[in-house]
Amino acid sequence: MPELEFLGTGDAGQVPRWGCDCGACQRARLDPARKRRPCSAALHTEEGTTLIDAGCTDLAERFAFDDIRRVLLTHFHMDHVQGLFHLRWGQCRSKIPVYRPDDPKGADDLYRHPGVFEFQPPCPAFERQQFPGFNLTPLPLLHSRPTQGLLIETPRTRLAWLTDTLGLPRVTQDFLQQQPRLDWLVLDCSEPPRQTPPRNHNDLTRALHTHHLLTPGRTLLTHIGHEFDDWLESDRGDLPATVSIARDGLRISL
């Protein structure tokens, strides 16, 4: 059965954040289970592993070359692609396709020196692609770089991976509302509730608004910042019963 593994659930600063002594960072230094690495995941199917972003820098230790069948990039901010930089120099037995948003700049020199990776032409938004064990549909998101969310459909489960984003473009909202109900929504939520929206990411207020718009079976919040982690420890209100906070290492069956 397909399974989604959360490799990282943190924002760009991760948890603990360097030099910070807030409660969340102190707890994460004492308890490895509270650490948050860059937001990313691995979709495991009978065919092998599909990486969703590549912000973790120890991917070579976690996966054999032949395990990784493809990489799905949401966007080219460094905390989502930095793990590719040393992997690209691997001993190539075959090329690994990388699916990406339409961003001509990419990141540093990855396009010019891709090594074992083969960057694919951008797939048009809302156009479904078929892969062994699942279908994939790119979804436009709202971020400071061209960014795509991912609608992943297995024979039994529908999951939307929506990070990084601040709210949703109306076309993406309308598309998802017109589709069959999501079983899982994995949603960007970097900050505790704010009176004014953050610049690039959801705070809890905006994340819950998206949750109520899409009414998924379950929502998992990810891309968590240390201030939000600390806020969650302060007993400042309960989340809806169908909303949870993802943790590094969490696995869900699809």
pLDDT at 93 over 80: no
Does 137 score more than 80 pLDDT? Answer: yes
Question: In angstroms, rounded to a whole number, what is the distance separating the alpha carbons of residues 12 and 9?
Answer: 10
pLDDT at 14: 97
Which among 55, 58, 93, 90 has a CA at the least distance from the CA of 72? 55
Average pLDDT over residues 204-229: 97
Listed in sequence order, the DSSP H helices in 65-203 are 78-81, 84-87, 170-178
Contact 56, 83 (CB under 8 A): yes
Residue type, 26: Q
- pLDDT tier, 235 (very low <50, low <70, confident <90, very high otherwise): low
Q: Report the pLDDT value the prediction gives residue 199, as an integer from 0 to 100.
A: 87
- Average pLDDT over the chain, rounded to an integer: 96
CB atoms within 10 A of CB 168: 25
| Entry pTM | 0.96
Task: Report the distance separating Cα 25 and Cα 187, nearest Å.
Answer: 22
The domains located in the chain, with CATH, are 3-13+36-248 (3.60.15.10)
Angstrom CA distances, 233 to 25, 184, 206, 230, stand at 12, 24, 20, 5
Instruction: Dump pLDDT digits (tens) for 165-184.
Output: 999 999 999 999 999 999 99
Which stretch of DSSP H or E encloses residue 138?
Answer: strand 134-140
Give the pLDDT confidence score for residue 91 in this predicted structure.
85
Average pLDDT over residues 189-194: 95
